[in-house]
Amino acid sequence: MDAPPPDGLPRPPLRLLPTTGAEQVNQRIPFSARRPSDADPGDLTESMRHVAQGDKQAFSALYDALAPLVFGIVLKVVRDRAQSEEVAQEVMIDLWRQAARYRPEAGSVRTWAATIAHRRAVDRVRSAQAAADREHAQAAREHTTAFDEVAEQVESRLESEQVRRCLRGLTELQRQVVTLAYYRGLTYREVAEALRTPLPTIKTRMRDGLIRLRDCMGVTT
């Protein structure tokens, strides 16, 4: 079972400083202020073994040794420094929680940490991209020029002569709104700006125009 995180973790980024005859002190040290450690790979393996047993001092040493490496890898993938610090901190917590799973025969501690860091960084980028895609899709739905199923049926037949004839039966503003929305692909707001007409009026004219087109073409719902 993974060991629970030590007291004071996670917090962005902390260094655990042992003191003599006093309480343990937590001091903030930004990832960017850290320097790569020259810790021996064997020492790191031993530290990892102690971390797996819940040794907080061993984790402090491991943290100091690996934090610069982890942050550097994450920053190259994520690019954003603030997000990179968050991800790097998550990686260090992962190292604490998953210490018991480390196997020296599978690779060095640095390689293991680098693998976790890269995976976490890629996950963050993918998550951010997925969120951006969802926002884009939502924005597209909110600004779509279609008006319920009737609009979709009308749009599928806009190139027909019947539609052109029916368009001539609309009012000037209705015809302009429908033409700008469907032939030029403008949103309601863009149509309102192009015609210098209030947005509510544009939406009303679009609705009325589509209904008249539906009736003219005999479209049923």
Q: How many residues does the chain have?
A: 221
- Residues near 66 by beta carbon (within 8 Å), at least 6 away in sequence: 37, 44, 92, 95, 109, 110, 113
Chain segment 6-29, per-residue pLDDT in tens: 545 444 444 433 333 333 333 334
Provide mean pLDDT across the span 123-144.
Answer: 77
**Number of neighbouring beta carbons within 10 Å of residue 116:** 19
Model pTM score: 0.49
Rounded average pLDDT over 69-81: 93
Which residues 6+ apart lie within 8 Å of 97 measured at CB?
2, 3, 4, 5
Which tokens go with 2?
Answer: 């993974």
| pLDDT at 199 > cutoff 70 | yes
Residue 84 pLDDT class (50, 70, 90 cuts): very high
The mean pLDDT of 95-101, rounded to a whole number, is 93
Encode pLDDT of 148-163 as tens digits.
Answer: 556 666 655 555 667 7
Q: What is the pLDDT of residue 208?
A: 85
Amino acid at 28: R
Spacing of C-alpha 158 from chain mean position = 38
For 122, 151, 153, 155, 210, the CA distances from 148, given in Å and listed in that order, are 39, 6, 9, 11, 10
